[in-house]
Chain A
Amino acid sequence: MIWIVYIAKFAFFLFALAVLAPLLTWVERKQSAVMQDRIGANRASIFGMRALGLFHALADVLKLFTKEFFIPRGAQKLIFLLAPCISIFFALLGFAVIPHADSLIVAGQSYAMQIVAADVGILFFFAVLSMAVYGVILGGWASNNNYAVLGGMRASAQMISYEVALGVSLIGVILVYGSVDLLEISRAQSELWFGFLPQWGIFVQPLAFFIFMTAGIAETKRIPFDAPEGESEIVGYFIEYGGMGFGMYFLTDFIETILIASMTVIFFLGGFQIPYLQADGLHIPGLMPLLFPDTVVLGVFQLNNLIVTLLQFAAFIFKVAVVIFLMMTIRWTLPRFRYDQIMNLGWKMLLPLSLVNIIVTAVVLYWLR
């Protein structure tokens, strides 16, 4: 039995890697095409079938695999080979602690819908997120290229700056829910305020939500925070990489986007929670029980635990998709910030604001209890 659980977990993990990340490249292209009034990627075809350009993702992967991976003269060979691996390796590890649904109870046994049911989820998330800096700076430094070194320095300075704001903004969330366990945080958000408003992080900690989203987008180094890889000035820390070396950096970007979006959902958008849906069924607030007295017993629309879990899983995926869509819309809406603007935003705006957020949250929590 335990083997089935393991196989299911890692099959899902590999599925997420192999399908979601390439799919995301397609979504991004199509969305940019729609926003810029173009047709977008639709040339790749298999037997004349174009499938809205979906095969472009496949073509990308094949192309990256069949291109030469070569090492420029003067590069630090071992580090040069290792850097993209570090980058994608730690991005992949980040998926370990994401709770996709509440625990599934089968035959009295409870199965966590997490790859690793650790109770230190936030710390794990930060640990692997910080490691991403190494992949970037080592890749830039080992390439023996001026642009790569500059790109690597810019990227690492930007990432560590926003990591501080990212971490400090989450302190408020931890204060409210009193845990660093992502499952606990998700569960706590099922409670209701005034009987109808779900206690999602975005309602409890609205300022932290905006800080976290901004810092999160900066962490993924995407537009408008893509100074480390601005095409028109310096090409980026991965300038000397070809083939899958570049592919790994490329995939890391998208995997980190999914990761940040998942974390935003867990902390601020209720995680896997659907409003009014509890473990035993749909709790309908207000007048609904009076209107439908037959179907509803004491305001609870009974549902099987398996169905609840599946619904929560679907809700989680849906929410992550919405957040990713929002991030991509931001990407195609704003121009690139100047580097000094990026650093000013991180240190002079987000960090003081998130510190103030902690103080206000702590004082209000103490006053309320």
Chain B
Amino acid sequence: MNPLIDTLILVAVAAAVVLVFWGVNFLLGPRSSGVVKETPFETGQVPLTPPGHRLTVRFYLIAILFVVFDVELIFLFPWAVVFNKLGLFGLIEMLAFIGVLFIGLFYAWKRGALEWE
């Protein structure tokens, strides 16, 4: 009952499920093609611009903020598990760490990184 082997078997089963979904759909589904049919859907009219032009910069800001906070989150997990063994040192260290996090969040907030018009 090695967890790693169990995980591998589960991965195989899940992959098999996905393959069955695809396979059955390709076997049973009809096929046809046409110029109009293959045009990307855009409320029934011919698409004016191809996608991938410009997106609002907010999305990139959110992505960067996510990376920052998610990395901080990874540091919090081991600390939370061994909190009882660390004692006062662990508490104060992490209070300082979360304090820095708060300052960072507050800074991003005040600079308008979290505003959506």
**A and B: interacting chains:** yes
Contact B40 A143 (CB under 8 A): yes
Apart from A68-B31, A178-B83: 15 A-B pairs, beta carbons within 8 A:
A13-B13, A67-B30, A68-B32, A70-B38, A72-B39, A88-B18, A88-B21, A115-B6, A117-B3, A167-B73, A174-B80, A175-B83, A343-B62, A355-B98, A369-B84
A216 within 8 A of B: no
**Given the complex of chains A and B, what is the CA–CA distance between A112 and B6 in angstroms?**
12
User: Nearest Cβ in chain A — how far from B57, in angstroms?
Assistant: 12
Chain-B contact segment, one of A52-60, A269-277, A296-304, A357-365: A357-365
Q: Which of B31, B82, B105 touches A351 (beta carbons < 8 Å)? A: B105
Chain-B contact segment, one of A30-38, A241-249, A279-287, A316-324: A241-249
A160 within 8 A of B: yes
Q: Which of A66, A73, A244 touches B22 (beta carbons < 8 Å)? A: A244
Contact A116 B41 (CB under 8 A): no
Contact B21 A247 (CB under 8 A): yes
Tell me the chain A residues, 129-170 only, with Cβ under 8 Å from chain B: 141, 143-150, 153, 157, 160-161, 163-164, 167-168
Most buried by B among A141, A339, A348, A366: A366
In the complex, what residues of A have CB within 8 A of residue B14's CB? 89, 92-93
In the complex, what residues of B have CB within 8 A of residue A67's CB? 25, 29-30
Q: Kindly report which residue of chain B lies nearest to residue A120, judged by CB atoms.
A: B3
Contact A144 B40 (CB under 8 A): yes
Contact with A along B50-82 (1 / 0, CB 8 A): 111001001100110110011001001100111
In the complex, what residues of A have CB within 8 A of residue B15's CB? 89
Contact B13 A14 (CB under 8 A): yes
In the complex, what residues of B have CB within 8 A of residue A6's CB? 9
Tell me the chain B residues, 19-33 only, with Cβ under 8 Å from chain A: 21-22, 24-26, 28-33
**Given the complex of chains A and B, what is the CA–CA distance between A69 and B24 in angstroms?**
11
A96 within 8 A of B: yes
**Given the complex of chains A and B, what is the CA–CA distance between A89 and B10 in angstroms?**
10
Question: What are the nearest 6 A-B pairs in CB distance?
Answer: A340-B116, A244-B25, A174-B80, A73-B38, A145-B40, A160-B66
**Given the complex of chains A and B, what is the CA–CA distance between A45 and B66 in angstroms?**
48
Contact A366 B88 (CB under 8 A): yes
A259 within 8 A of B: no
**Given the complex of chains A and B, what is the CA–CA distance between A351 and B76 in angstroms?**
14
A171 within 8 A of B: yes
In the complex, what residues of A have CB within 8 A of residue B69's CB? 164, 168, 351
**Given the complex of chains A and B, what is the CA–CA distance between A158 and B55 in angstroms?**
15
**Given the complex of chains A and B, what is the CA–CA distance between A179 and B85 in angstroms?**
13
User: Nearest Cβ in chain B — how far from A351, in angstroms?
Assistant: 7
Contact A74 B40 (CB under 8 A): yes
In the complex, what residues of A have CB within 8 A of residue B31's CB? 68, 70
Q: Which of A73, A168, A363 touches B91 (beta carbons < 8 Å)? A: A363
In the complex, what residues of B have CB within 8 A of residue A13's CB? 10, 13
B47 within 8 A of A: yes
A85 within 8 A of B: yes
Contact with B along A99-116 (1 / 0, CB 8 A): 000000000000010011
Q: A240-B41, A362-B94 are in contact. Are A174 and B81 (CB under 8 A)?
A: yes
In the complex, what residues of B have CB within 8 A of residue A326's CB? none
User: Nearest Cβ in chain A — how far from B4, in angstroms?
Assistant: 9
Q: A149-B51, A240-B41 are in contact. Are A344 and B114 (CB under 8 A)?
A: yes
Contact B102 A352 (CB under 8 A): yes
Q: A163-B66, A167-B70, A343-B62 are in contact. Are A69 and B83 (CB under 8 A)?
A: no
**Given the complex of chains A and B, what is the CA–CA distance between A179 and B80 in angstroms?**
8
Q: A144-B50, A248-B18 are in contact. Are A164 and B66 (CB under 8 A)?
A: yes
